[in-house]
Structure formats: structure tokens, C-alpha cells
């Protein structure tokens, strides 16, 4: 089926990035498979993370079908776009339907995007991961592709006013080597290994980030362990 919606949306995003002069630093895009299914797993620190994580797959000419809460699909503006891009709605009360939908997409050779933390991390550190991404990779017999984002929280995140007038933000994206999702391995153990790998990628992205706070009032986007004033992570 022809992709009538996704390419124009990507073009619009590229135009927005250019207008905002966002400086994207993408490393590891060679790890994105050029064909076949995969579960792309990303950390979640901002509202536009699905756009930036999707860009990680562009050098391989792949489109990512993200799993997102169903309320986004009911919105009069975002709904038609989300459906047109073949993203996958998730009703948390009936999660099994979304899981089956994702499996069908993976088995048909699609890349499915998942945020295993489920919601934005206000501390900008990794929260506890849910095991759904790993379980669907095991069942569909496809690899897991870890992606770490840094800097996206400065564009638009939870608890902060959206201000797209601020420009010149660096955005760092790191893509790791695909991880085999062996069905014989415990989903819990594999999820723990995935989180460890994501932590390594996140630290790599943070170390490569070329900018610090622009003043004392601009430390909100850095976690406490990096000298910022973001809320401390909640341990569960």
C-alpha cells in the first residue's frame, strides 16, 4: 500500500527542524536493518521523541510504526495523521489488542517503535522498563534495536511550556547494535539487559552533547547527577 501520509509528515518535520536550526547528531544508523521486522526501543524525555527516534531509521530508508496511547488517535488533528502513518493505538485497558497489532506489523516486516518507560521521565533518567517490547520481539522472532535520545527535552517536554521560538538546540541520537530476542531467555532478564544497554547509549549521547545550561535558570533539563535541577528519579 502506498505511503501517502508519512513522507509529507517527514518533509514537514525536516522543514521545522531547519527553521528551528536543530543540530541533529545521529550515530549508529548503520545498525538499523534495511529490511525485515524489528522493535525499535527508545528512552522517553520529550513529546517529540517519536519524531526524533523515527529519524534514526531514515538513513536506512525505513519507516517506524510507533505504539502510542489511543487518545492521540482520537484527536481531530493528530488522529488522521497517526492513522495515516499506520502507527499503533494502545488502549491500556485492552493492551492485548495493541500487542497483536504490533505482532502483525513485525511479522509483515515493519519496524515497530516502543517507549518501554510508557511515559516521559521527568528526571530525564531511565525509568523502569516494561517487558512488552521484549516479549513482542521474542514472539515475532525479530531483533530489538536500542535508541537513546538526548536534548529533545529542551524542545518540548512534560511540565514545561512549549516554546518553539527557542532555536539552535543540539539533538543527540545514538543507535545501538540490534539485540537478539531469544525466546528461550526470560523476558525479565532480557529487559534488564536492554535497559543496561540503553543506559550505556544514553551516557554516550550525554557525553557527546556539545552544550551545557545557558545560565542558572537553564539547568532544569539536566538530571541531578549531571549537576542539573530536574526532579530526582522515583525508584519503583
DSSP 71-119: HHHHSTTHHHHHHHTT-EEE-GGGHHHHHHHHHHHHHTT-EEEE-TT-S
User: What is the C-alpha to C-alpha distance for residues 176 and 7, in angstroms, rounded to an integer?
Assistant: 25
Least Cα distance to 67 among 86, 46, 48, 43 occurs for 86
Residue 236 has pLDDT above 60, yes or no: no
pTM: 0.95
Other residues' Cβ atoms within 10 Å of the Cβ of residue 118: 17
Q: How far apart are CA 38 and CA 111, in angstroms?
A: 5
d(CA 101, CA 66): 11
In angstroms, the CA 5 to CA 23 distance is 25
Say how far apart CA 232 and CA 57 lie, in whole Å.
Answer: 32
pLDDT tens digits, one per residue of 46-89: 999 999 999 999 999 999 999 999 999 999 989 999 999 999 99
Task: Write the pLDDT tens digit of every residue in 25-48.
Answer: 999 999 999 999 999 999 999 999
C-alpha distance across the termini of the chain, in Å = 43
Average pLDDT of the segment spanning 120-130? 97
Instruction: Give 172-197 pLDDT, tens digit per residue.
Output: 999 999 999 999 999 999 999 999 99
Q: For residue 128, what are the contacts with CB-CB under 8 A and spacing of at least 6?
A: 117, 236
CB 72 within 8 A of CB 78: yes
Pairing of β 38-42 and β 144-150: parallel
Amino acid at each position: 500500500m502506498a505511503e501517502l501520509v508519512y513522507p509529507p509528515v517527514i518533509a514537514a518535520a525536516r522543514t521545522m527542524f531547519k527553521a528551528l536550526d536543530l543540530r541533529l547528531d545521529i550515530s549508529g544508523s548503520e545498525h538499523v536493518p534495511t529490511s525485515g521486522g524489528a522493535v525499535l526501543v527508545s528512552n522517553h524525555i520529550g513529546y517529540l521523541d517519536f519524531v526524533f527516534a523515527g529519524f534514526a531509521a531514515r538513513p536506512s530508508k525505513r519507516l517506524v510504526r510507533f505504539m502510542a496511547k489511543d487518545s492521540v488517535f482520537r484527536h481531530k488533528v493528530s488522529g488522521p495523521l497517526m492513522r495515516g502513518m499506520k502507527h499503533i493505538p494502545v488502549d491500556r485497558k485492552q493492551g492485548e489488542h495493541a500487542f497483536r497489532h504490533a505482532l502483525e506489523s513485525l511479522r509483515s516486516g515493519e519496524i515497530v517503535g516502543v517507549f518501554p518507560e510508557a511515559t516521559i521521565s521527568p528526571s530525564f533518567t531511565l525509568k523502569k522498563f516494561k517487558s512488552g517490547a521484549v516479549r513482542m520481539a521474542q514472539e515475532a522472532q525479530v531483533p530489538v534495536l536500542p535508541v537513546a535520545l538526548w536534548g529533545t527535552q529542551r524542545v518540548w517536554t512534560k511540565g514545561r511550556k512549549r516554546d518553539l521560538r527557542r532555536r539552535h538546540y543540539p539533538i543527540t541520537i545514538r543507535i545501538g547494535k540490534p539485540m537478539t530476542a531469544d525466546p528461550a531467555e526470560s523476558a525479565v532478564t532480557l529487559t534488564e539487559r536492554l535497559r543496561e544497554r540503553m543506559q550505556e547509549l544514553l551516557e554516550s549521547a550525554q557525553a557527546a552533547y556539545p552544550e551545557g545550561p545557558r545560565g542558572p535558570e537553564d539547568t532544569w533539563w539536566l538530571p541531578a547527577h549531571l549537576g542539573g535541577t530536574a526532579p530526582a528519579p522515583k525508584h519503583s
